Amino acid sequence: MNLQTTSEAAPMAAAPEESPEDLVARLARDGRAAQRVLARLSDTEKADALRAAASALRGAAPAILEANARDVVAGEEKGLTGAMLDRLRLDSARLVGIADAVEQVANLPDPVGQVIEATERPNGLKLSRVRIPIGLIGIIYESRPNVTADAAALCLRSGNAVLLRGGSEALHSNRAIRAAFATGLESVGIPASAIQLVPTQDRAVVGAMLTAAGLIDMIVPRGGKSLVARVQADARVPVLAHLDGICHTYIHSAADPEMAKQVALNAKMRRTGICGAMETLLLDTQFPASRDVVTALIESGCELRGDARARSLDSRILPAGEEDWDTEYLDAVLSVAVVDGLDAAMDHIAAHSSHHTDAIVTGDDAAAERFLGEVDSAIVMVNASSQFADGGEFGLGAEIGIATGRLHARGPVALEGLTTYKWQVRGSGQTRP
């Protein structure tokens, strides 16, 4: 198999007849060597490296935009949807935003070296848990070229090397962005192999990454359901991901009617295609303004699919099938159910939530606290739109994704989520009896 690539990725080009497994192993070894360099850098050195990368991205704007134009033309010829082309397309303003985002990551506090806790044992041993980088992170993503810079910046700021595998739609854009980023790093003495891009679109390489246990320390998939499902099914490397964003908003009996309407409208219709968009609305049977909420959603252009009690509120609500309660629409479509109180709402969420983001609208503090405590989702909200499920909105500066699992990190994963910890033990000659 010949995995040759273009000159944009020449430093990482595959050797003739190199198998996908050998390619990934070689890239991983180079990345791990670079990560040991990153681990020695100070907070200031990592921040300066990212500022150099941001400057290089701005300087390479003509080359990046030319590469992106090639991808857009190819996407149009392939018949990509307007939404996909919009995700793919870069212009001068978007590229400035990408470079600015890298600088913003540079300005974030460095989590590495943070002492999580420190104790002293009766025998005088001093113990501390200290944050450290995870190591080499593999990121598999689809058509958004900004992910190349975003992921590289977050990984480097947290002391991790990264192996990127972008989608074929953004092939030239990704290579140009990575090349500029690497140039910036090299200008301050950091090896380009700290930020690597797989030099081939061979799908077998994805499989090789997923099984590279001991070489890649964690995989982060960014993309559609089919991609994430494959990663979760096939990976032999720890995965940080969410599969679905089936987010609920429950309008409690004690909700303020106007607040309930505005939160529901925003949660669904602000942007219908993001993972934090509401996909199911639960209306308490005792809430007096359910019809107003339903009417506002329909008049905003949303298609509603409901159970029998929901359909009695408005004849325009279509009947919901069993599959609707487990569907992430990512569109102006919403399932609606009427429930008999807080316990019934939480039961519905427990049965159908993807554990991403679930919210309650209520003026009852006791109900709010029960909801916060008992709903088992990565993000649980009171009196707020689920569209706030975003690392930037959480004050994290940026995110590499939303995690819905129960290990390591949950919710928006930013710098802290890209670290682990080790125990440091300081003694004075103690021996164990």
Range of the domain at 13: 7-234
Q: Smallest Cα–Cα separation from 398: which of 377, 418, 421, 383?
A: 418
Q: Domain with 365 in it: what CATH number?
A: 3.40.309.10
Collapsed DSSP state (helix, strand, coil) of residue 411: strand
Residues 205 and 111 in one domain: yes
> Residue 64: inside a domain, yes or no?
yes
pLDDT tens readout for residues 149-189 = 999 999 999 999 999 999 999 999 999 999 999 999 999 99
How far is 248 from 302, CA to CA, in rounded Å?
A: 16
> Residue 251: inside a domain, yes or no?
yes
Mean pLDDT of 200-217: 95
pLDDT reading at 116 higher than 50: yes
pLDDT tens readout for residues 23-70 = 999 999 999 999 999 999 999 999 999 999 999 999 999 999 999 999
Tokens 């590469």, located at residue: 67
Residues 210 and 280 in one domain: no
Residues 230 and 252 in one domain: no
pLDDT tens readout for residues 210-247 = 999 999 999 999 888 888 889 999 999 999 888 789 99
> Residue 381: inside a domain, yes or no?
yes
The pLDDT value given to residue 11: 47
Residues 203 and 54 in one domain: yes
Look at 402 and 398; give whichever has higher pLDDT: 402
Write down which residue in 234, 260, 280 finishes a domain: 234
> Residue 427: inside a domain, yes or no?
no
| Mean of the per-residue pLDDT values of the chain | 93
Mean pLDDT of 368-373: 98
Residues 242, 228: contact at Cβ < 8 Å? yes
The pLDDT value given to residue 8: 41
How far is 179 from 7, CA to CA, in rounded Å?
A: 10
The pLDDT value given to residue 86: 87
Residues 358, 247: contact at Cβ < 8 Å? yes
Identity of residue 148:
T
pLDDT tens readout for residues 383-398 = 999 999 998 899 887 7
> Residue 404: inside a domain, yes or no?
no
Mean pLDDT of 260-286: 96
pLDDT tens readout for residues 307-354 = 999 999 999 999 999 999 999 999 999 999 999 999 999 999 999 999
Residues 230 and 277 in one domain: no
pLDDT reading at 426 higher than 60: yes
Residues 85 and 216 in one domain: yes
The pLDDT value given to residue 94: 95
Residues 210 and 97 in one domain: yes
Residues 106, 47: contact at Cβ < 8 Å? yes
> Residue 433: inside a domain, yes or no?
no
Q: How confident is the model at residue 142 (pLDDT cuts 50, 70, 90)?
A: confident
pTM of the model: 0.86
Residues 208 and 278 in one domain: no
Residues 145 and 262 in one domain: no
Residues 270 and 348 in one domain: yes
The pLDDT value given to residue 9: 38
How far is 147 from 149, CA to CA, in rounded Å?
A: 5
Q: How many domains does the chain have?
A: 2
The pLDDT value given to residue 105: 94
Q: How confident is the model at residue 405 (pLDDT cuts 50, 70, 90)?
A: confident
Q: Domain with 200 in it: what CATH number?
A: 3.40.605.10
Residues 155 and 289 in one domain: no
pLDDT reading at 4 higher than 80: no
> Residue 198: inside a domain, yes or no?
yes
Residues 41 and 190 in one domain: yes
Write down which residue in 187, 205, 234 finishes a domain: 234
